[in-house]
Chains A and B, each alone.
Chain A
Amino acid sequence: MSDLTTTQPQSNIHKLSASILKASGLLWVFLGLCVVAALLSPAFLNPANLMNVFRQVALYGIVSVGMTFVILTKGIDLSVGSILGVCAVAAALLLTGGWSPWLAVVVVLLIGSGLGAVNGIGVAVGRVPPFIMTLGMMVMARGLALTLANGQPIGLKDAAASFAWLGRGALLGVPVPVWIFAVVAAIAIFVLRYTPFGRQIYAVGSNEEAAHLSGISVNRVNFYVYVISGFLAALTALIFVSRLTVGEPTAGTGIELEAIAITVIGGTSLFGGEGGIFGTIIGAAILAVLANIMNLVGISPFTQQIVKGAIIVGAVLYEMQRKRK
């Protein structure tokens, strides 16, 4: 074997295609699933249905991008659903309180990031294990959402019209949430691949001590991933409220599990340091199509849960097998 092959740096494209290739096993699973869906129910290929699937992918996908950042650092964020709830209520309160939609959007995004920042401080500075910190936040934020809303959904009423674009609008025939997801995913891919911060996320996730000794501010990285996760939960909340024209304090319940499942199915390792956004996008698509088929053929929501749970365990099992080789 030669000491070092002297291939020229055709790196960018080469590496990019390599990471797509890694996710391509999943891509086949996804395409296979689509074929099965089309065979099982002709309604699947109906444009309206497909738009629905896309919208679903977008909504869960945005939260899952944040979750991917967190899991890459070997963390976990159980509080995204509750943060989403707080933000949904806050958005409804601000809009019905007569705030301009633009200002309301900014404030809600700040609230989500702020709650994420509390997680980040707890994990990075307080050294509270992520599971515990975000579990606490999950309970607290849900309580906060219920308190703010007095336990009742808050309808947007007159404000609904001026706030409809985000969740129900379309651009060039594609729903706005899908555009938002595309932008979020593109930025996330860029950050992870082409910025020092992205590298540092992988470094912290693969070996915190080595990262520290390599001059990486581990605290800073651990802090920011939770801020990002909170921010994206807030963004999702805005789309929710716009779509449903109501801010529900229970909005987003259980979405953390969905996001974790998507991330893990997408091949991001729960042990940190491995994985990425491509996988997460496909993971979101797989789960959305799966849910859609089961709805179309009339499988009960209860049975759907059983299937979903089994798939999550299966995905992790597969990963462990692959690792052992």
Chain B
Amino acid sequence: MLLEAISKGSQTFDPTMILQMAGIAKSFPGVRALDGVSFSVRRGEVHALVGENGAGKSTLMKILSGAYQSDRGVITFDGKVVALPTPSQMIGLGIAVIYQEFAQAPHLTVAENIFLHRLPRTRFGLVDWKKASLDARGYMERLGFSVDPLARIDRLSVAQRQMVEIARALSRNAQLIVLDEPSAVLGDNELQKLFATIRSLQNEGVSFIYISHRLKEVFDISQTVTVLRDGKVVNSTATRQMTTDELIRSMVGRSIGDYFPARNPKFGAVVLKVTGINRGKILKDISLTLRGGEIVGICGLAGAGRSELLRAIIGADPIDNGRIELHGKELTIDTPRKAISLGIGFAPEDRKTDGLFLLQSVSFNITISRLRDFLSAFRLDLGKERKAAQDFAARLRVKTPDVDARIGNLSGGNQQKCVIAKQLNAKCDVLLVDEPTRGVDVGAKREIYELLVDLTERNGLAIVMVSSDLPEVIGMCDRILVMCEGRIAAELAKADATEEAIMKHATIH
């Protein structure tokens, strides 16, 4: 069977293609992640790979990197069939996959991270630090970034770290670089820098696979786009010949009308009032009020203190001074536990490290912050708990075999839906959400938007939403606060909110 497949692979071999994957299939218990996927990348092109959460994009890339073994299918790279791909073999062939949660050693330097395990040696077998840092600087400059090669990784911004990953790929002579949702962690100007880097490497003959849920990026950077749905390729064409509508339709199988739900807010009394919060150099004299039924957006560049503000309000980080009033009563909130018991929910930005218990089941994750609803005489009613978790999962269309599945095995976007479901289960009346749709597909985004709007209009929930996705903030929020270097630089009414206005206030002046 293998022989047959190989001969079939060589028959259709096309020298203009750097990569050809044919008939790739992969199943997990209860899930058919990939079902006969054929996918080819032309030399020197940027090939966008899109699809709903759980469509199989990351799985396909893990097979390409050798991290997973496919059940069936043939991979041909640079004209040669790769029989049994292993990670080191794929790296050796020139394939580099940069995952969204890339694996870096935080305490090592830039140079060490670039040359990890392959540091240059002197004649005596010792590490040649001089050459290492010189080479590292060379690679970083080729990417248009000047970073001290001896700086520790955890001192760099996320964008710079991503460049370190790309530099590592280049140092291994990568011919094909996979970027799995690179933009999820980048601000707008950082993204432009990344695009510039991609284009210049493209001119040097490097090919890219680019995965993203932001369709605008797909049109900006790619030449070809392939759409996966339920583990199958449903469309693969030149990006020029695509429209946004068509792309969405092939992704979700239907058109999505208005992207943002219509809103007719009814504002209630002031629910949350924050006055003059300070925290070191991170938060300076922050005040905000939030009324019932209102959605307030917070924008700003990375590092402006947006997430830190939310963390300060729920008591995850200590504040130096400032007042917090809830329903007109002054309170000290010194732990998230207290915040939750007062009805303030928080959905953190980094779901893997702060939001989820990856080892545990979907239902465990959804119900953990409020188990008392399922208690009957000191005993958890597991049936009732499971039912509630199923309801949330169905309402948010979480794609999972069942609610007992390990949440770590869900695709990124479906994990994010569970983070939101968890807050809903906690029954808060103030909800602080940090990047609520990061890594979420268009269809699910729309569902989350509808849900948030519905909660404000029907239950009078008040929402503070931090987001780097400007169209999202403008489309969803009744009022927008722009943060810059720990201060609130501007407050914009919905009518005045444009991307230009927000960026103007967000940048340092």
Complex CA–CA separation, A7 to B386 (angstroms)? 10
Judge whether A15 is part of the interface by a CB distance below 8 angstroms: yes
Q: How far is the CB of A252 from chain B (nearest CB, A)?
A: 32
Q: How far is the CB of B459 from chain A (nearest CB, A)?
A: 20
Complex CA–CA separation, A211 to B358 (angstroms)? 12
Known A12-B383, A202-B364, A214-B369; judge A195-B378 contact (CB<8 A): yes
Q: Which of A192-249 contact B (CB under 8 A)?
A: 193-196, 199-200, 202-203, 206-207, 209-217
Q: How far is the CB of A187 from chain B (nearest CB, A)?
A: 12
Chain A: interface residue total (CB-CB under 8 A): 33
Q: Considering the complex, give the chain A residue whose CB is closest to the CB of B355.
A: A210
Judge whether A274 is part of the interface by a CB distance below 8 angstroms: yes
**Of listed B339, B378, B386, residue having the most chain A CB within 10 A:** B386
Q: Which of A3-43 contact B (CB under 8 A)?
A: 3-7, 9, 11-12, 15, 18
Instruction: Verify A274–B346 contact, CB threshold 8 A.
Output: no
Q: Which of A232-291 contact B (CB under 8 A)?
A: 273-274
Known A4-B402, A195-B378; judge A213-B368 contact (CB<8 A): no
Q: How far is the CB of B350 from chain A (nearest CB, A)?
A: 9
Instruction: Verify A1–B364 contact, CB threshold 8 A.
Output: no
Complex CA–CA separation, A274 to B371 (angstroms)? 20
Complex CA–CA separation, A211 to B383 (angstroms)? 23
Stretch with Cβ within 8 A of A (4 or more), from B220-228, B243-251, B387-395: B387-395
Known A4-B393, A195-B380; judge A215-B399 contact (CB<8 A): no
Instruction: Verify A11–B382 contact, CB threshold 8 A.
Output: yes
Instruction: Verify A199–B383 contact, CB threshold 8 A.
Output: no
Instruction: Verify A196–B387 contact, CB threshold 8 A.
Output: no
Chain A residues whose CB sits within 8 angstroms of the CB of B48 once the complex forms: none
Known A11-B386, A196-B372; judge A215-B337 contact (CB<8 A): yes
Known A213-B355, A274-B359; judge A11-B368 contact (CB<8 A): no
Judge whether B4 is part of the interface by a CB distance below 8 angstroms: no
Instruction: Verify B368–A214 contact, CB threshold 8 A.
Output: yes
Known A1-B32, A207-B357; judge A12-B382 contact (CB<8 A): yes
Complex CA–CA separation, A216 to B360 (angstroms)? 16
Complex CA–CA separation, A305 to B384 (angstroms)? 48
Complex CA–CA separation, A215 to B371 (angstroms)? 11
Chain A residues whose CB sits within 8 angstroms of the CB of B31 once the complex forms: 1
Q: How far is the CB of A103 from chain B (nearest CB, A)?
A: 29
Instruction: Verify B401–A5 contact, CB threshold 8 A.
Output: yes
Instruction: Verify A9–B383 contact, CB threshold 8 A.
Output: yes
Which residue of A18, A193, A215 contacts B369 across the interface (Cβ within 8 Å)? A215
Q: Which of A98-117 contact B (CB under 8 A)?
A: none
Judge whether B230 is part of the interface by a CB distance below 8 angstroms: yes
Known A1-B230, A196-B380; judge A213-B357 contact (CB<8 A): no
Which residue of A190, A203, A214 contacts B336 across the interface (Cβ within 8 Å)? A214
Complex CA–CA separation, A167 to B393 (angstroms)? 51
Complex CA–CA separation, A6 to B394 (angstroms)? 9
Chain B residues whose CB sits within 8 angstroms of the CB of A217 once the complex forms: 335, 337
Chain A residues whose CB sits within 8 angstroms of the CB of B32 once the complex forms: 1
Chain A residues whose CB sits within 8 angstroms of the CB of B385 once the complex forms: 11
Known A1-B399, A5-B402, A203-B360; judge A196-B375 contact (CB<8 A): yes
Instruction: Verify A6–B390 contact, CB threshold 8 A.
Output: yes
**Of listed A6, A193, A206, A215, residue having the most chain B CB within 10 A:** A215
Judge whether B213 is part of the interface by a CB distance below 8 angstroms: no
Complex CA–CA separation, A323 to B332 (angstroms)? 43
Known A195-B380, A203-B357; judge A3-B397 contact (CB<8 A): yes
Q: Considering the complex, give the chain A residue whose CB is closest to the CB of B422.
A: A214
Known A4-B398, A4-B402; judge A196-B371 contact (CB<8 A): yes
Instruction: Verify A213–B380 contact, CB threshold 8 A.
Output: no
Which residue of A9, A199, A206 contacts B359 across the interface (Cβ within 8 Å)? A206
**Of listed A207, A211, A214, residue having the most chain B CB within 10 A:** A214
Complex CA–CA separation, A215 to B333 (angstroms)? 12
Complex CA–CA separation, A226 to B397 (angstroms)? 41
Instruction: Verify B400–A4 contact, CB threshold 8 A.
Output: yes
Chain A residues whose CB sits within 8 angstroms of the CB of B404 once the complex forms: 15, 18
Which residue of B316, B339, B369, B386 contacts A9 across the interface (Cβ within 8 Å)? B386
Complex CA–CA separation, A215 to B404 (angstroms)? 22
Q: Considering the complex, give the chain B residue whose CB is closest to the CB of A217.
A: B337
Q: Considering the complex, give the chain A residue whose CB is closest to the CB of B395.
A: A4
Instruction: Verify B383–A213 contact, CB threshold 8 A.
Output: no
Q: Considering the complex, give the chain B residue whose CB is closest to the CB of A220.
A: B337
Chain B residues whose CB sits within 8 angstroms of the CB of A194 once the complex forms: 379-380, 382
Q: Considering the complex, give the chain A residue whose CB is closest to the CB of B357.
A: A206
Known A1-B32, A196-B380, A212-B316; judge A202-B337 contact (CB<8 A): no
Q: Considering the complex, give the chain B residue whose CB is closest to the CB of A15.
A: B382
Judge whether B340 is part of the interface by a CB distance below 8 angstroms: yes
Chain A residues whose CB sits within 8 angstroms of the CB of B11 once the complex forms: none
Judge whether B348 is part of the interface by a CB distance below 8 angstroms: yes
Proximity string of chain B (356-367) to chain A, C-beta cutoff 8 Å, 1 when within and 0 when not: 111110001000
Q: Considering the complex, give the chain B residue whose CB is closest to the CB of A196.
A: B371
Q: How far is the CB of B478 from chain A (nearest CB, A)?
A: 26
Q: How far is the CB of A142 from chain B (nearest CB, A)?
A: 35
Instruction: Verify A199–B398 contact, CB threshold 8 A.
Output: no
Q: Considering the complex, give the chain B residue whose CB is closest to the CB of A198.
A: B380
Judge whether B354 is part of the interface by a CB distance below 8 angstroms: yes
Q: Considering the complex, give the chain A residue whose CB is closest to the CB of B339.
A: A215
Known A3-B394, A4-B398, A195-B380; judge A215-B356 contact (CB<8 A): no
The 3 A-B pairs with the shortest beta carbon distances in the complex, nearest first, are: A215-B340, A9-B383, A206-B357
Would you mind naming 6 contact pairs between A and B with Cβ atoms under 8 Å apart?
A: A4-B402, A9-B384, A195-B380, A207-B358, A211-B357, A216-B368
A-B contacts besides A195-B379, A209-B353, A216-B337, 14 pairs, CB < 8 Å:
A1-B32, A1-B230, A3-B398, A4-B390, A9-B382, A199-B364, A202-B357, A207-B358, A212-B336, A213-B314, A213-B348, A213-B354, A214-B369, A273-B357
